[in-house]
């Protein structure tokens, strides 16, 4: 992967509560002094007209500060190779509405985001697990500056699955005045796992070969947007941004995804490892699997897979398979696996990622309809393992905590 500067794009950051108490108090005081003046000076229809004009003026002020006067920044990082523990420089420049902001506070954020689809509604769960303020600057006419950020040594790299995300970002908080709520803008970037360059290339090639559904959906929506009338183009762009701007582009992918018609095996299965259950990325795992089946099968597959759990929709990928064709009903098989490099085992508030080894029966496509009969009353015999640089699950609550 070539090392080069990268320009950050704005993303939908975690929801921030705005403090409207000062602004609401100011509006209330204006109304308290304005109403008696209007009542003394106007009567009848003129009174209603003046009252409506006052409220319209206040509405325009609120709209101006919440929609029109929002500052935007151009943010560039010195490098696109950012790993846990790395320090990287950044430059920023306010390119829109620079005069409206009096102060800017910039923070390094790490947060998890999970989406749960139920029917026609989508619930979004967000949790900030790391926040560090890196700049607090009174602008006084200044529109550009530079800074440096240091990623925590035990940070979990950026993760972008279909419904589960771990996101790193720079958050800009622009203050307008002492009485007006601030404006927040978030710019995402990638924190990469420690992998050799050929591993990055392999992950990207495997994902291109899979043809990610999300990329296809984005392309289709963009094509529909380009063909739509001008009056609805902005609405369609908002739909695209709201659905897919959850993490920065050029994300490290999740590797291969092997799909077959699998079912739990009938009978007893035992998977043994050589005394270890925690490994580093890319290490070699040795073990023995034995089975005693109650009926013959055509294919047995030893699978390595990861899956998510938590608030978001569950996701899983089978990344490696060791097949055994026409196995005996009672037999054993030694195995050796080179462990994947990514993703790492994770324990978060809303997202967890676990790795397991299990044994499954591969059914032919013509038996797909009988899958329920195979699954009924059975479960996959599995052995959990941990894949992480620290050989322990990364817990988001401990990221940035010095032991």
Among 192, 224, 243, residue at a domain's last position: 192
Average pLDDT of the chain, as a whole number:
78
Q: DSSP characters for 148-194?
A: EEE--TTPPPPEE-SSEEEEEEEEEEEE-BTTB--EEEEEEEPPPPS
Least confident of 161-165, 248-252, 293-297: 248-252
- Cβ count within 10 A of residue 313: 16
| Residue 377 DSSP label | T
Confidence of residue 206 (pLDDT cuts 50, 70, 90): very low
Q: What is the pLDDT of residues 105-149, one digit of tens each?
A: 999 999 999 998 887 788 889 999 999 999 999 888 888 899 999
Give the H or E element holding residue 23. Answer: helix 21-41
| pLDDT for position 401 | 61
Of 261, 329, 253, 339, the closest CA to residue 295 belongs to: 329
Q: Classify the C-alpha dihedral 242-248-250-255 as positive or negative.
A: negative
Least confident of 90-99, 133-142, 201-210: 201-210
Are 29 and 155 in the same domain? Answer: yes
Which range of residues forms the domain containing residue 81?
A: 1-192
Are 267 and 348 in the same domain? Answer: yes
Are 188 and 267 in the same domain? Answer: no
Residue 209, in any domain of the structure? no
Distances (CA, A) of 71 to 21, 58, 181, 206: 22, 21, 13, 40
Radius of gyration of the chain (CA): 28
Identify which has the larger pLDDT, 99 or 113: 113
Confidence of residue 306 (pLDDT cuts 50, 70, 90): very high
| pLDDT for position 91 | 95
Among 169, 192, 215, residue at a domain's last position: 192
Residue 253, in any domain of the structure? no
Are 177 and 320 in the same domain? Answer: no
Residue 257, in any domain of the structure? no
- Cβ count within 10 A of residue 213: 9
Residue 216, in any domain of the structure? no
| pLDDT for position 95 | 86
Distance, in Å, from the CA atom of 23 to the CA atom of 180, rounded to the nearest integer, reads: 5
Distance, in Å, from the CA atom of 146 to the CA atom of 158, rounded to the nearest integer, reads: 23
Are 188 and 274 in the same domain? Answer: no
Are 179 and 272 in the same domain? Answer: no
Residue 312, in any domain of the structure? yes
Are 29 and 138 in the same domain? Answer: yes
Are 168 and 290 in the same domain? Answer: no
Domain of residue 294, CATH code:
2.60.40.1930
Are 92 and 177 in the same domain? Answer: yes
Residue 36 has pLDDT above 70, yes or no: no
Share of the chain above pLDDT 90, in %: 33
Among 192, 213, 232, residue at a domain's last position: 192
Identify which has the larger pLDDT, 207 or 340: 340
Residue 199, in any domain of the structure? no
Provide the number of structural domains found in the chain. 2
Q: DSSP characters for 197-253?
A: HHHHHHHHHHHHHH--HHHHHHHHHHHHHHHS-HHHHHHHHHHHHHHHTTS-SS---
Whether the pTM exceeds 0.85: the reply is no
Are 187 and 268 in the same domain? Answer: no
Are 151 and 280 in the same domain? Answer: no
Are 173 and 285 in the same domain? Answer: no
| pLDDT for position 244 | 47
Residue 188, in any domain of the structure? yes
Confidence of residue 208 (pLDDT cuts 50, 70, 90): very low
Residue 145, in any domain of the structure? yes
> What average pLDDT does this structure show over 218-232?
64
Q: What is the pLDDT of residues 232-264, one digit of tens each?
A: 665 566 555 544 444 444 455 676 788 888 888
């Amino acid at each position: 992967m070539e090392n080069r500067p990268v320009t950050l794009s704005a993303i939908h950051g975690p929801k921030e509560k705005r403090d409207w108490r000062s602004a609401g108090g100011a509006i209330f005081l204006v109304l308290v002094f304005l109403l008696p003046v209007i009542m003394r000076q106007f009567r009848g229809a003129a009174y209603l007209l003046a009252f409506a004009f006052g409220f319209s003026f206040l509405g325009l002020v609120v709209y101006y500060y919440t929609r029109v006067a929002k500052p935007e920044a151009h943010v560039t990082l010195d490098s696109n190779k950012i790993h846990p523990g790395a320090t990287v420089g950044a430059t920023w420049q306010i390119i829109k509405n620079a005069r409206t902001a009096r102060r800017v506070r910039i923070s390094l954020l790490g947060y998890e985001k999970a989406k749960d689809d139920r029917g026609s509604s989508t619930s979004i769960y967000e949790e900030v697990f790391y926040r560090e303020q890196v700049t607090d600057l009174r602008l006084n006419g200044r529109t550009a500056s530079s800074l440096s950020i240091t990623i925590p040594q035990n940070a979990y790299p950026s993760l972008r699955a279909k419904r589960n995300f771990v996101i790193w970002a720079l958050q800009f908080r622009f203050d307008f005045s002492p009485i007006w709520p601030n404006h927040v803008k978030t710019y995402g970037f990638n924190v990469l796992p420690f992998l050799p360059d050929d591993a990055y290339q392999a992950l990207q090639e495997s994902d291109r070969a899979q043809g990610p559904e999300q990329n296809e959906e984005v392309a289709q929506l963009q094509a529909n947007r380009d063909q739509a009338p001008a009056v609805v183009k902005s609405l369609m762009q908002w739909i695209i941004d709201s659905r897919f701007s959850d993490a920065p582009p050029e994300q490290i992918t999740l590797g291969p995804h092997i799909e077959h018609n699998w079912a739990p095996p009938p009978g007893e299965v035992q998977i043994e490892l050589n005394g270890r259950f925690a490994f580093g990325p890319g290490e070699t795992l040795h073990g023995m699997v034995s089975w005693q089946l109650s009926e013959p099968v055509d294919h047995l597959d030893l699978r390595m897979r990861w899956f998510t759990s938590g608030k978001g929709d569950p996701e899983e990928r089978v990344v490696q398979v060791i097949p055994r064709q026409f196995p005996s009903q009672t037999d054993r098989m030694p195995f050796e696996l080179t462990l994947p490099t990514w993703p790492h085992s994770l324990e978060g508030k809303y997202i967890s990622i676990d790795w397991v080894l299990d044994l499954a029966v591969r059914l032919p496509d013509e038996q797909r309809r009988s899958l329920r009969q195979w699954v009924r009353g059975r479960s996959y015999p599995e052995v959990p393992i941990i894949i992480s640089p620290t050989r322990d699950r990364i817990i988001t609550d401990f990221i940035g905590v010095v032991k």
